[in-house]
Amino acid sequence: MARRQGRTNASRKGGSRKGARSGKKGAWRGVVRLRWLGAVLLLALVGAAWGWWALRHWQPPPAQWPVQGVEIGREDGAVDWTALKAVGADFAYLDASSGDSFRDSGFVDNMEAARGAGLTLGALHHYDPCLSADRQAANFVTVVPRDDRMLPPAVELDALADDCTPRVSDAAVVSELMTFINQIETHTGKAAILKVSPAFERQYHVARAINRNLWLERDWLTPDYAGQPFTLWTANSALMTAASPQPLRWVVVGR
């Protein structure tokens, strides 16, 4: 009986050792799996960070898009126009006015500085479909001089009339917009460019309703939401450059 008991105890000890070894192997496999997952996660984070950096610094290839420029407004702060010229800007559209009363306080200074750096200039108005076209046109022509050296005026069409009081119909939006366009074209002597957002185009179909050159927006991929070729394209809405601590709206001329 004592001999049998001894064998049983030995068997238990052997089983305990095997169980311990098996537990250690399982724990080691768990550690290896966690380390592998950690390495994969680190690579994914590094890849995402690199991709974010690359996109923030991406400019369309000059070989494909030889004429490039920028849109500048008050929110962009101080801009080094010489540096902007050095990174490839040939022209600049300056935010001039918005609605029927707002005027960009930096417009005149930006115009002089950009010209001093050798850039061609254009002026842009942010159109509000809830407000009178006549008053908005008066606001624009008060800010923007009639100057043959300037590029065609641009009209940013982004705000919708959904919340206007009183309500403005879609047909009235297009009609009033045409009134505004006619008045600023009379002032500048040049046909306007319509900077149309995807939402505005879906709502009012101005690309078909109004025969003007188009300025479309889409980061990194060429836009096609207007169903027509574009004259200008905001290719990177947040380009980091040496010209400004703020990201800038980078624009190219269509082919």
3-state SS string over 10-78?
HHHHHHHHHHHHHHHHHHHHHHHHHHHHHHHHHHHHHHHHHHHHHHHCCCCCCCCCCCEEEEECHHHCC
Least confident of 8-22, 27-41, 94-108: 8-22
**Homologous superfamily of domain range 64-253:** Glycosidases (3.20.20.80)
Which pLDDT value is given to residue 21?
Answer: 62
Mean pLDDT of the chain: 87
User: What's the CA gap between 253 and 62, in Å, rounded?
Assistant: 11
Say which range, 29-38, 43-52, 172-181, 225-234, has the weakest mean pLDDT.
43-52
pLDDT over threshold 60, residue 69: yes
Q: What is the pLDDT of residue 74?
A: 87
**Average pLDDT of 1-13?**
50
Tell me how far apart the alpha carbons of residues 233 and 71 are, in angstroms, rounded to a whole number: 11
User: Which residues contact residue 202 at a Cβ distance below 8 angstroms, ignoring those fewer than 6 apart?
Assistant: 225
pLDDT score recorded for residue 57: 84
Q: What is the 3-state secondary structure (H, E, C) of 162-226?
A: CCCCCCCCHHHHHHHHHHHHHHHHHHHCCCCEEEECHHHHHHHCHHHHCCCEEEEECCCCCCCCC
Task: Report whether pLDDT(4) > 90.
Answer: no
- Average the pLDDT over each of 36-50, 108-122, 221-235 and give the range with the smallest value: 36-50
Per-residue pLDDT band for 39 (boundaries 50, 70, 90) equals low
- Which phi and psi (to 5°) does residue 95 adopt? -65, 120
Q: CA 241 to CA 161: how far, in whole Å?
A: 35
* Distance separating alpha carbons of residues 58 and 192, to the nearest angstrom: 28
Measured CA to CA, the distance from residue 63 to residue 157 in angstroms comes to 30
Q: Tell me the domain boundaries of the chain.
A: 1-56, 64-253
CA–CA dist 235, 219 (Å, integer): 5
Size of the chain in residues: 255
Other C-beta atoms closer than 10 Å to the C-beta of 116 total: 11
Percentage of the chain lying above the pLDDT 70 cut: 79
CB contact at 8 A, 94 and 110: yes
pLDDT at 202 over 50: yes
Q: Integer distance in angstroms from the first to the last C-alpha of the chain? A: 99
**Helix (H/G/I), strand (E/B), else coil: 126:** strand
Q: What is the reported pLDDT for 75?
A: 87
